[in-house]
Chain A
Amino acid sequence: MKHIETVQKPCIKAGKNTACGECQASCQSACKTSCTVANQKCAKEEK
C-alpha cells in the first residue's frame, strides 16, 4: 500500500483463547480509581 502502513495487526477478537478470569482485577493494580485494561497483561499468556 502506498499511503498506509499497518503497524499493529488485529488483536481484539473473541477467538483469543482466554476468558478464564485469572487476570488481575483492573482496579487492584495501581490506580484504584481510573479503571483501565489497556495496560494489563493476560494472565494466561504471562505464565
Chain B
Amino acid sequence: MIHSFKFQNRNVLLDVESGAIHTVDDAAFAVVFALERGLDPYAAGVDAGTVSEVLADLEELKSSGAFETETPTAPEILGGSAIKSMCLHVAHDCNLRCRYCFAATGDFHGERMLMSFETGKRALDFLMERSGTRQHLEVDLFGGEPLMNWDVCKQLVAYGRELEKKFNKIIHFTITTNCVALDDEKIDFINREMHNVVISLDGRKEIHDALRPTVNGKGSFDIILNSAKKLVAGRGDKEYYIRGTFTRENLDFLEDVKALTGFGFDQISIEPAVLPDDSPYSLLPEHIERINAEYDALADYYIEARKSHDMWFNFFHFMFDPDGGPCLRKRINGCGAGTEYVAVTPEGDIYPCHQFVGMQDYKLGTLDKPALRTDLQEAFLGCNVCTKDTCKSCWAKYYCSGGCMANAVLYGGALETPHEISCQLMQKRIECAIGIYLSEQ
C-alpha cells in the first residue's frame, strides 16, 4: 500500500508496510496517483517518455523492498502478557468544572470520592503481581484532580519505592493535574518523584477560562499559570507536557499553541475534544477541513519556530522518529488497554483504561477479586490494526496503532470500529509529522 500526499512544496510517498518514505517530482507523483487508483499512468498528463522513466524508478524501488512491500507478520510479545501500566484514580472529584470533561467533571458519573491509601496500596500490589518479567512500570496519579488527595499520592509514591526494591522493578510515576491546588511543597515533591507531569492548560486565557471554570464558575487561568510555570521551571531534564484541549470554540488552536510557547512552555500537546455530537463543544465532520488547515498552519509555524533557539518547542503529535520508533508489535497492538494497561477507581474497580471507567460492561474485575475477565482481555488483545477492517486498509495504521478503544466504543459504535473523526485528524497530524521530519532533515 502506498500513501501519496503533498506537504508544503513536497510530493511525498509513504510505503505503508515498510515505512520507507520517498519524495518525488510532479511527474512521478502524477504517475503514482494514477497507479494507486487503477488508472492508466500514460493518461496522467505526463509525456510518455517520462512515464516510462518513472515506472522504471518504481520497479527499482520495488526490487529494493521500499515500495509496495508485503504486510509484515507481527511477532509475539516476549515474556507473555503482563500489566505494565496503571492509571490510578486517586480522586473521583475535581476543583474545576471543565465543559468538555470526559469524566463528568471528575465523578465519572458516580459518587465524588477519594481513593484510600489502603486501596491504592492494593492496586500497586496488584500491579507488582501482574507485571510478570517487565521491569519498567508506569503509574499515573489521575483523577478527577489528584492533588485533591495529595497525602495519599505521597504515601503511594513512598510505598511504590519500597515495592521497587522488593521486586526489582522501576516505577515511573506520573501525574496529570490542573495545577489549581499546587503549592511549593507539591512542586518540590512532583519534581523529585514524577517521571512525567501532564499539566492541563488550554492556551489563551479567554479560551481556558471559558472552558475550564472553577466550581464557582470563575476562570481558572490566573490561578494556575504561575504555578504551572514554576513547576515546569523546576523540572530540569525531566519530562512534562502542557496538555490542552481544543473544541469547536477554538478551531484556531494555533493561537493557543502560540500563547503556550509565549508563556515559556516548550513541550506542548493540544488534543481534539471527543464528545457526543450533540455537545456544544464537539467536533463534527463539517469542522474537519478547517481543523486540517489549522494543522497545516501549525506545521508551518512549528518548522519556522524550531529554527530559532529561543522559539524552539515540541508538539507531541508532530514528533516522528522512524528509526528510533517502536517495534512492529507495539505499532500493531497500540495502547494496550485492558491487557497491558488498566485503570483502578477509588472503589477498587478495575477497567481497561481511564476512559472506560464507569462503563459496567467493560469492568475487568476488582481488587477484591482480581481474576480479571479473560473474555474482555481477549477481545481487547484481538482488536488491533491487523484485525480491524477500517485499520487494515488505512495507511496510518502503524503510526496511530488503531486509535483509542474507548472512543471506538463510545463514538464509533463498537470496539472494532474506530471513531471516524479521530481517524481523520490522526491522519492529518501524521502527514504533518512526516512532512516536518522531511523538512528538518
Contact = CB atoms under 8 A, between A and B. Distances in A.
B204 interface: no
A26 to B, nearest CB: 5
B136 A34 contact: no
A3 B354 contact: no
Contacts of B429: 36
B82 interface: yes
Contact of A37 (B174, B176, B334, B340): B334
Given A9-B66, A14-B74, A34 B271 contact: yes
Contact of B328 (A13, A22, A25, A31): A13
A13 B326 contact: no
Interface in A1-47: 1-14, 16, 18-43, 45-46
A11 B317 contact: no
B1 to A, nearest CB: 12
B316 A31 contact: yes
Interface string B78-89: 110010110100
Interface stretch (B23-31, B112-120, B298-306): B23-31
A25 B340 contact: yes
B85 A24 contact: yes
B75 interface: yes
A6 B25 CA distance: 12
Given A7-B438, A14-B72, A27-B337, A36 B79 contact: no
B130 interface: no
B134 interface: yes
Contacts of A46: 324
B54 interface: yes
Interface residues of B, number: 96
A1 B57 contact: yes
A46 B140 CA distance: 21
Interface string B24-57: 1101100000000000000000000010011001
B106 interface: no
A12 B15 CA distance: 10
Contact of A41 (B61, B321, B336, B437): B321
Nearest to A10: B18
A22 B24 CA distance: 37
Interface in B347-382: 353-355
Most buried by B among A14, A23, A37: A37
Contacts of A30: 196, 198, 241, 243, 267, 269, 316
Contact of A24 (B73, B172, B241, B272): B172
A2 B49 CA distance: 12
Nearest to B402: A35
B161 interface: no
B398 A12 contact: yes
B341 A28 contact: yes
B138 A10 contact: no
Nearest to A1: B57
B389 to A, nearest CB: 18
Given A22-B135, A25-B335, A26-B336, A37 B57 contact: no
Contact of B400 (A2, A5, A7, A37): A37
Contact of B140 (A14, A28, A33): A28
Contacts of A39: 316-321, 433
B174 A19 contact: no
Interface in B400-429: 400-405, 407, 422, 425-426, 429
B330 A33 contact: no
Nearest to A14: B72
Given A3-B24, A14-B73, A19 B328 contact: yes
Contact of A16 (B79, B328, B355, B430): B328
18 contacts: A3-B25, A3-B27, A3-B50, A3-B54, A5-B24, A7-B22, A10-B65, A12-B398, A19-B76, A24-B136, A25-B85, A26-B334, A32-B243, A34-B425, A35-B335, A38-B325, A39-B433, A42-B326
Interface of A: 1-14, 16, 18-43, 45-46
Instruction: Please list the 6 inter-chain residue pairs (A to B) with the smallest Cβ-Cβ separation, ordered nearest first.
Output: A39-B319, A18-B327, A10-B18, A25-B85, A12-B19, A38-B399
Given A4-B22, A4-B28, 11 more contacts: A3-B54, A5-B24, A6-B66, A7-B23, A10-B19, A12-B19, A21-B340, A34-B422, A35-B335, A39-B321, A42-B324
